[in-house]
Each structure stands twice: as structure tokens, then as C-alpha cells.
Structure 1
């Protein structure tokens, strides 16, 4: 039986995560449920998109991913089920899959239409759970929805490229546990537009013209340890997910500070890369 994962903005205080899991276990005894994250900022679609993009491919093909972020079912926020890259995604049609679908085409895509058979207003508990359990039993998407051709994209998930091809307009889409500010600019986009040219990265009052490979590359290990003075110094690198990240060395937003606190690089803060001819 396939795995079902959960990514939501429910947090841990309220009963919602437990209720969703209980509803799944009622339907499928012995199913494996994995929590990817329940700490997505409320209604933050870009943050959810970043998290699911960088987690789903670690699971086996056939895994079913429930994404319960901004998921209330309305005429403008329909529910969809997608077979993409051999994984199933069940979510609202609110753009949350934009990061994944930017380079991939769905194998199947349906608008879920079983809501009239369910008498609850907790959409993740009802329509999403019923759809996930149907798929886990070997059911097809066509039984729970009608085929559609496309789903929505959202502003902010994909960076904008200037017509001149000299500037990338990005923004911070995620703050990690260390306070590092992760942008929507990927290494692929940087290499494609930059073509090896010199560059300047501007983020609020900060300017950078070098991208490091690792956090520790900021250190000159030839200096004595008490002479290094690197704690809190800013740096830029492509993180393990190949997203451009602005960080400080050994940051901690609760003590010494971090890129998000020291530089003011919170969610949606603009990050601009300007390329210059060599």
C-alpha cells in the first residue's frame, strides 16, 4: 500500500492533524502516514510549494501527497488531484504546485467532484482524505474527478526575467529554521540567464557579488580561530535544494541573529540579480 504524506498550515496545537490522520486510519488500516510539515505559515502558498517541491521526490513512486494549505473549497478555489512525476498530489487549485510543474507536465489532472457526497466543511478531512484513500486502494483519478487541462499559477513562485535578460527579479519565499532567507531563484535560472557573467545581488541594503558553495567557505582556515570574526557575516549560496539563499554564518534568529532578522529579509522581500558584461 502506498504512503500518504501530509503538508499543512494546521500547526500542532489544534486537533486538525490528528483528525485527518484518524480519518485516514478509519478508511485504511495499516496505511503509512508521514508528516512533511504542519508549520507552513497560514495560507502561505509559496512556502508550501517550496516545502513540497523539495520533499516529495525523496518518497517512492506512487506516494500520495495531501497539501492542506488555503484549501477551503469555493467556486474560485477548486480541488484537484494530479499524477505528476509518478506521484499523486491532492490540493486546492491555488498555485501550490507551480514550482513542481514549472518543468514537468502532469500525467493526469482532474478537478475533484465528490463534494456533494460529503457532509462536512473540513475539506482536508473530507474530500482530500476520501480521494487519497481511493487512490491508495488502486482507484483511478477519473472516478473522483473530471479531467482538466491546466491549473493555476501564482505570482511570486517563479522569478521574473527582464526583457534585456540582464536582470532577475526574485523574492524570498521561505525562511528556514536557522533564519536563512531562501529565494525563488534557482541555480538553473541563474546559470541560464547569467551565462557566466559577473553579477551583483541586491537585497534591501545588502550587496553581494560572490556565491559560495558551502557556509564554511566564508572562513579562512589559515587564520587562528580567535581571529576569524565570521559569526553573523552575510553570505549567499545555492542551498541543497538549488535555491539561492541569503544567510549568515552560524545564524540563530533567537540569539545572534540571522539573514531574516539582521538584514530584514522576510517573506516577499525582493532579491534582484543584475548581470554585467565581462
Structure 2
């Protein structure tokens, strides 16, 4: 049976996640449910897309991903079921699917039209769960709705190139559990414009001229411990998803703070890279 994943902004205090899982198990006693995250910032499509984009591909082909962020349907954002890259995504047409699979064209997109469904305040339970269970049983998308050709495309978060290719302007798209700041500038884009040149990353009043491949690369073990960089120092690196990330080495967001609080950076704030 296909895996059903859950990604929502519901948190864990309320009954929502429990009700979703209980309903799935009531329909499919052998269901395989995986929580990706229930801590997405409320209605934050970009954050949701970042987490799903960097996790869905690790699941087997045929997995079904319920996206419970900004899920209430409207005339402009109907419910959709999308088959892309061997995976199913069930979401509102709010742009999240286009951000998750930006480089891949969907094979099938259907507007969900279930008979005898009351559209209330809990559409993830009322609609998405029914579609997910249908697909998990081996059902076809054609049964749950009609072909849809108006998939919403979001592109406003792409980095900007200016100054004849000498400047990249990116934005903060995610702040992780450690307070690390993830930008929307990926390694491929950075290297394409860098062309071997020196560079400077400008984040608030901080300047960085080196990007590491891992957090501990900031430490020069050839130096005496008293002269090394280490815990509490700022660094930039290409994270595991190949995005430029700013971090405070071995910092704790809950105590002394992380890169986001210590640099004063928040979602959508600007990061500028200048090439020499």
C-alpha cells in the first residue's frame, strides 16, 4: 500500500492531526502514514514548499502527499490532485505544487470534484483524506475529478540578477530549528555567475567572503584552539539541499540565539552577493 505523508501548519496542540490519522486508519487499516511536518508557519506556502521539495523525493514512487497549508478552497484556488515525478500531491491550487516541482512538468493535474462532500472548515479531512485513501487503494485520478489546466505558478521568490551579472539578490525562504537562515540562492546559480571570481555576501551589517560545504569546515584544525573560529562564529555554507545558508556554528536558538535572531533576518529579508 502506498505511503501517505502529511505536511500541515496545524501544530500538535489541537485535534486536527489526530483526526486526520484516525480517519485514514478507519478507511485503510493497513495504511502507512508519515508525518513530514506539522510546524509550518501558518499559511506559509514558501516554507511548506521548501520542506516538501527537499523531502518528497526520498519516498518511494507512488507516495501520496497531503499538503494541509492554506487548504481552504476558493474560486481562485480550487482543490487539486497532481501526479508529478512519480508522486501524488493533494493540495489547494495556491502555488505550492509549482514551487515543490519547479523544474518538472506534471504528468496529470485534476481539479477535485467529489460527490456528496460537505465543504466545511476542515477540508484536509473532508476532501484530501478521501482522495488520498482512494489513491492508496490503487484508484485513478480520473475518478476524483476532471482535468485541470490552470495550475497556479509562483515565481516571485526567484533570486534577481543585476549589475551585468555581478550581483545576485536573494531572499530568506526558510529558518530552520537551529535558527539557520536559508536563502533562495542555489549553488548552481551562484557558480554560474561567480565564474571563479571573488565574492562578498552581505547580510545586514555582516560580510562573508567564503562558503563552506559543512558546518565544521569553519574550523582550521592547524591553528591553536585559542586562534580558531568555532562555536558562536558566523558562516555561510551550501546546505544539504544546495541552498546558501547562514548559520552560527553550534548555536542554540532557544538560548543565545541563532543566525536569524543574531543577524536580525526574517522570512523574505534580502541577502546580496556581489562578485568582483
How many matched pairs? 275
SS state of the match for residue 97, structure 1?
Answer: helix
Corresponding residue for 1:62? 62
Q: Would the aligned equivalents of 2:53 and 2:101 in 1 still touch at CA under 8 Å?
A: no
Taking the TM superposition and a 5 Å limit, the aligned residue runs for 1:39-58 are: 39-58=39-58
- The Cα shift of 1:166 comes to 2.7
Instruction: Give yes or no for the alignment of 1:118 onto 2:88.
Output: no
Instruction: Give yes or no for the alignment of 1:209 onto 2:223.
Output: no
Q: Tell me: CA distance 1:150–1:274, structure 2 relative to 1, closer, same or farther (3 Å).
A: farther
Corresponding residue for 1:85? 85
TM-score by length of 1: 0.93
SS state of the match for residue 185, structure 1?
Answer: strand
- The Cα shift of 1:155 comes to 5.0
More off after superposition, 155-164 vs 173-182: 155-164
- Distance in 1, matches of 2:156 and 2:25, equals 36
Q: Would the aligned equivalents of 2:99 and 2:154 in 1 still touch at CA under 8 Å?
A: no
More off after superposition, 71-80 vs 219-228: 219-228
Over aligned residues, Cα RMSD in angstroms? 1.6
- The Cα shift of 1:156 comes to 4.5
- The Cα shift of 1:226 comes to 4.2
More off after superposition, 267-276 vs 180-189: 267-276
* Deviation by residue 1:204-236 (Cα, 9 ceiling, x = unmatched): 212212111111111121233344353221111
Q: Would the aligned equivalents of 2:218 and 2:229 in 1 still touch at CA under 8 Å?
A: no
Q: Would the aligned equivalents of 1:99 and 1:158 in 2 still touch at CA under 8 Å?
A: no
Corresponding residue for 1:71? 71
Corresponding residue for 1:18? 18
- Distance in 2, matches of 1:152 and 1:196, equals 37
Q: Would the aligned equivalents of 2:161 and 2:168 in 1 still touch at CA under 8 Å?
A: yes
Q: Tell me: CA distance 1:98–1:194, structure 2 relative to 1, closer, same or farther (3 Å).
A: farther
Corresponding residue for 2:230? 230
- Distance in 1, matches of 2:163 and 2:153, equals 21
Instruction: Give yes or no for the alignment of 1:167 onto 2:170.
Output: no
Q: Would the aligned equivalents of 1:80 and 1:109 in 2 still touch at CA under 8 Å?
A: yes
- The Cα shift of 1:170 comes to 1.2
| Unaligned stretches of 5+ residues in structure 2 | none
Q: Would the aligned equivalents of 2:6 and 2:34 in 1 still touch at CA under 8 Å?
A: yes
